[in-house]
Amino acid sequence: MSDLALLGGTPVRTKIFSQSNTIGEEEKIAVMKVLDSGNLSQYVGSWNKDFKGGPMVQQFENDWAEAFGVKYCHAVNSNTSGLYACIGACDIGPGDEVIVSPYTMTAGAIAPLIYGAVPVFADIDEDIFCLDPKSIEANITPRTKAILIVHICGHPTDMDAVMAIAKKHNLKVIEDCAQSPMSTYKGKFVGTIGDVGIFSLNYHKHIHTGEGGMIVTNDPVIAEKVELIRNHGEAVVEGKKTKDLWNTFGFNYRMTEMEAAVGIEQLKKLPGLLDRRIANANYLSRILGELNGIIPPVVKEGCRHVYYQQTFKFKKDIIGVHRNTFIDAMKAELPTMVLRESTPIIGCGFAPPLYLQPIYQQRLHKCSFNCPRYDGSVSYEKGLCPVTERMFFEEVFTHEYMRPSFSKRDLEDVVNAYEKVYTNVNNLKAYEAKKDEALV
Ligand SMILES: Cc1ncc(COP(=O)(O)O)c(C=O)c1O
């Protein structure tokens, strides 16, 4: 094998990987039909038949309901706005606490703050990186109103345990399924097990509409509230004769007809795209799992992992260098971008623990933290969630080399790069020492 590219050798591959473009003729035709109709959105923020949106939005919702076996679906313009709508629809407000994950995209913890509530971070499970039920239970107080779980990277949370805790303490369960469409837990789709679930349709996701989201629930009360919050609820409640006005003030979270038309076509492709993604991930897990010290993703019994990202644990004591050094070397061996995307397709874990962000460190949202109705004292200290911190700073790395667009040949290059770095890891020690010296 030649020298590591990080140390001046020839990289395994320089040809950029092809973009995972799931948009094809079907979406183009569907969008052209909408454009020809001139009807790009049919929403009206008052109580009449257009309150629920136009034909494409309604068809997309019906198709999603059928595909996921759920009663009510509401298309929204992002998973973020969907999370906000769900917090509102679960009647969460000032003085309340919501248990959230520190190891997720930032919107998952901000959502309670939007309604004046306080996010409380529980720790994650060290195998699947979703909230650990033991830590959820340890963080429950008389103020806890809901648990906002995230099926992170595509693996389901331990739903039996979460639902048992919720039942015991009378809490709502909100499932953030942004990264886990058609991931299943004991035969049920995630998003349909708790009180309400939200899917993302942004352009990074398994399928997409550019930006977008879908809220799913079997609860008619939550469904009605979500619908009001999505579309200027306060202007509608009189006409609709709504009795429960708590949190029904609305926003504009509406999806357009063109996005919905794309979504209808994308949804048809989802099962095939998932099969390909899972097959690629299994192949990489099998081969890379043979490298002592690199631990491929765990798939718990009864669960279907849909691999938004493929997570590995890195054992520094066995391999001999820090994970970050190994990832630097991997980045030098392979192109780490896919065309216009600026997100690297290999990196050091998912996201830094959210409670370390300035907004929490400085308690910037005073309406939540200083609210006279709030009688708790939440902690956001470093060290709060030791497993999350260990995973992010030391152990986990993620890649997206299992995307459905990756061919057998692409996967072989990926394997060659890992094997090359792994077998030459001793050569990285001097590089690592120099890097450490530079930091002193
Ligand atoms: C877990 C999780 N939650 C929420 C979001 C927000 O999704 P959106 O960009 O659709 O608002 C994302 C997006 O990356 C996500 O990964």
Which among 80, 100, 259 is the best mutation to test ligand 1's pocket, defined by most ligand atoms within 8 Å of the CB?
80
Amino acid at 258: M
What's residue 18's pLDDT?
Answer: 80
| Residue 179 beta carbon below 6 angstroms from any ligand 1 atom | yes
Strand pairing partners for 174?
148, 196
Nearest ligand 1 atom to the CA of 81 is 11
Cα distances (Å, whole numbers) of residue 402 to 183, 288, 324: 16, 12, 21
Total count of residues recorded for the chain = 440
Secondary-structure class of domain 25-266 per CATH: alpha beta
* pLDDT digits (tens), the chain, 440 positions: 459 999 999 999 999 888 778 999 999 999 999 999 999 999 999 999 999 999 999 999 999 999 999 999 999 999 999 999 999 999 999 999 999 999 999 999 999 999 999 999 999 999 999 999 999 999 999 999 999 999 999 999 999 999 999 999 999 999 999 999 999 999 999 999 999 999 999 999 999 999 999 999 999 999 999 999 999 999 999 999 999 999 999 999 999 999 999 999 999 999 999 999 999 999 999 999 999 999 999 999 999 999 999 999 999 999 999 999 999 999 999 987 665 556 678 998 878 999 999 999 998 888 889 999 999 999 999 999 999 999 999 999 999 999 999 999 999 999 999 999 999 999 999 888 888 777 65
Between the CA of 79 and the centroid of ligand 1 the distance, in Å, is 5
- β-partners of residue 72 are 217
Q: Is 5-22+270-350+391-439 assigned to CATH 3.90.1150.10? A: yes
Q: Measure 343 CA to ligand 1 centroid, in angstroms.
A: 14
pTM: 0.97
Q: Is 213 in the pocket of ligand 1 (CB under 6 A)?
A: yes
Domain residue ranges of the chain, discontinuous segments joined by +? 5-22+270-350+391-439, 25-266
Spatial distance between the Cα atoms of 192 and 145, rounded to a whole number of angstroms? 19
* Whether residue 336 has its Cβ less than 6 Å from ligand 1: no
Pocket test for ligand 1, best of 200, 306, 311, 354 (most atoms within 8 A of CB): 200
User: In the chain, how long is the greatest CA-to-CA distance?
Assistant: 74
With a 6 A CB cut-off, is 82 part of the ligand 1 pocket? no
The sign of the CA dihedral 90, 95, 98, 102 is positive
Q: Which long-range contacts (CB under 8 A, 24 or more apart) does 21-29 make?
A: 21/405, 22/207, 22/208, 22/266, 22/269, 22/273, 22/404, 23/262, 23/266, 26/265, 26/268, 27/261, 27/262, 27/265, 27/266
Q: How far is the CA of 178 from the centre of ligand 1 (A)?
A: 5
- Atom from ligand 1 closest to the CA of residue 212: 10
Q: Determine if ligand 1 sits within 6 Å of the CB of residue 150.
A: yes
Q: Is 77 in the pocket of ligand 1 (CB under 6 A)?
A: no
Tokens of 77: 């313009």
Which atom belonging to ligand 1 lies closest to the Cα atom of 80?
11
Residue nearest to atom 8 of ligand 1 (CA): 79
Q: Rounded to whole angstroms, how far apart are CA atoms 165 and 80? A: 25
- What's the confidence (pLDDT) of residue 16? 86
* CB distance 200 to ligand 1 below 6 Å: yes
- Residue 210 Cβ < 6 Å to ligand 1: no
Kindly give the distance from the C-alpha atom of residue 33 to the centroid of ligand 1, in angstroms, as a whole number: 29
Facing residues of 131 across strands? 124
388 touches ligand 1 (CB under 6 Å): no
Judge whether 137 and 89 are in contact, CB under 8 Å. no
Tell me if domain 5-22+270-350+391-439 and domain 25-266 are identical in fold. no
